[in-house]
A and B are shown apart, each in its own frame.
Chain A
């Protein structure tokens, strides 16, 4: 059997056994639910950050006709909902109970409850003026079209000589960026722990001794990581697929553009991050003698990831183009978590994105090499936990 077909058998077993385990089915279902939820949230969130239009009560007999449509259609730059009442007393009552923000009384007079909303005042003014304008124009013998240049002249063209870059970080963008960082951390630690536990299980059940009769360590390592990453891809595809279905079903054609861009960046960095960290988790698992030690040995890896995660949620989200954010998004160890929020909220230069990807791509084979050697040196060693240096040395000794 050649080398790769051995690794393929290992990967196939990994996929078959895990795919029918309850934990896998539950986590996949969870991802699908999350994807639907995220799309739903993305549809609702922008509205959430915008206020509902205010409501104005109009006393029907006293207010000129034509005011109501002007208030409602938003043509004047903002809009208000209109509630018709028949008597002024009724309007006052709605106003004091807080059901309407303003009331247009006979006169016409604009009434507020406790403080004046300048927006609403301007809107009402314009609406009343426009509604009465047609009558004034008719008296002057003009149509609305003829009077248009007088009433609504073309605005002056505007130019800015040295525009300031605007970093658009609305509330929903920040929510999307933070969600991406959380998802990235979750996927790196979740699939990392699958690999870790898989390696530890093989070692502690001593099945690795029997496997080594037919396989070489690198085949077992490669097959295990490939199998688990294939499952990860499957789960992510289920997530992305559900999200697409949800978008179609909800008819959310106008998803925030940033969502698509961040989604692509997150998937790319997830792939690179998984490749980088999977083999590290596998090597760590190989040095463990008992399942209980697994968490201890991965502490440095987990702490690194959580540290980068916290920096991404604080530093990168608040100052996406600062020096620390730049560094975090380019250094391979932190780039998988830190670049995506920068893309969402800042303006990383194309060369920065390119460099961070190039460094990751260059780093991955180096890490695989180092991790493979530690794995090979440690996987067959029984007894207590094995130090990295010891594993490194004995890798040279075993075949």
Chain B
């Protein structure tokens, strides 16, 4: 298990991490979410000793991380970090070797990954000759080639087309399935929702929400109602209800935030009394809702 405890880092006047604490479990995927500049990248870099922390500790399996263990991790930085003029296959092999694979194992793994991610025909191309998406694939291969125990992927899906996202998503999911702890950051919340078991939301250097996605959703103090009610009074059927907040309204369609302890049957009856209900959905928050709640301070 990876544990980050009480991380603090300040760059001049800018606080990047402020008592940041979260953990990632083997065999599970943790989505690290947060607005731009919230400290996600700093937290991820700290795992590799790339940040000198002002305070706090990063532990793996309960201990401070030793170089030998760190070599069993895989890292995909947000910006490209590859030798631009090195050939794709050589590059993947080289990183495999650095992470402790034998020459044979490294070239076998490189060939498998090139095949898997559809880059076999570009194996002898220089990285700088590849498109953005293909460079991204190479960067991912470099993180995966040695079957890492822990994968830290900083925005692995940014700039990819939907097909690329789906392919990489599958690959990352497999890594968790084989037992790796996977941490990845993303702004694509629907994607995280589909992939991750766990989430942690960072805001201004602090974790403002953390846990298994299901648990976090049911623990939320809010529920969401998406409904459309036809009739003269239909559009305003929710007016006057206590604790209800109107999020969006379009024609007769509304989206509401309501306290978690509201009885959905009661709400539905109120809607039916106001007109004919076209549809009515009562649900726990989506990840996007949770994110907005957490970052705007609703959850506190």
Contact = CB atoms under 8 A, between A and B. Distances in A.
Interface of A: 1, 6, 9, 13, 16-17, 21, 201-202, 205-216, 380, 394, 397-399
Contacts of B77: 206, 209-210
Nearest to B68: A1
Given A213-B75, A214-B95, A208 B70 contact: no
A17 B67 CA distance: 26
A9 B52 contact: no
Given A213-B48, A398-B52, A207 B71 contact: no
Most buried by B among A21, A212, A399: A212
Given A13-B94, A207-B82, 18 more contacts: A6-B98, A17-B86, A206-B81, A209-B50, A209-B75, A209-B77, A209-B81, A210-B75, A210-B77, A210-B81, A210-B95, A210-B142, A210-B143, A212-B48, A213-B73, A213-B75, A214-B100, A215-B98
28 contacts: A1-B98, A6-B98, A13-B94, A16-B90, A17-B90, A201-B83, A202-B83, A205-B80, A205-B81, A205-B82, A205-B83, A205-B84, A206-B77, A207-B81, A207-B82, A209-B45, A209-B81, A210-B75, A210-B81, A210-B82, A210-B142, A212-B48, A213-B71, A214-B98, A214-B99, A214-B100, A394-B52, A399-B49
A214 B71 contact: yes
B81 to A, nearest CB: 4
Interface of B: 45, 48-50, 52, 67-68, 70-71, 73-75, 77, 79-86, 90, 94-95, 97-100, 142-143
Given A205-B82, A205-B83, A207-B82, A212 B97 contact: no
A212 to B, nearest CB: 6
Contacts, number: 69
Nearest to B142: A210
A310 B239 CA distance: 90
A2 to B, nearest CB: 9
Contacts of B98: 1, 6, 9, 211, 214-215
Contacts of A205: 80-84
B93 to A, nearest CB: 10
Given A1-B71, A13-B94, A206-B77, A212 B50 contact: yes
A298 B145 CA distance: 37
A394 B71 CA distance: 23
Nearest to A1: B100
A34 B74 CA distance: 47
Most buried by B among A9, A13, A201, A214: A214
A206 B79 contact: yes
Nearest to A215: B98
A202 B49 CA distance: 17
A163 B152 CA distance: 79
Given A209-B50, A397-B52, A216 B80 contact: no
A337 to B, nearest CB: 32
A398 B50 CA distance: 8
A382 to B, nearest CB: 10
Nearest to A396: B52
A398 B49 contact: yes
A237 B34 CA distance: 57
Contacts of A211: 98
Contacts of B143: 210
A21 B75 CA distance: 28
Nearest to B75: A213
Which 4 A/B pairs are nearest by Cβ-Cβ distance? A214-B98, A206-B81, A210-B81, A397-B52
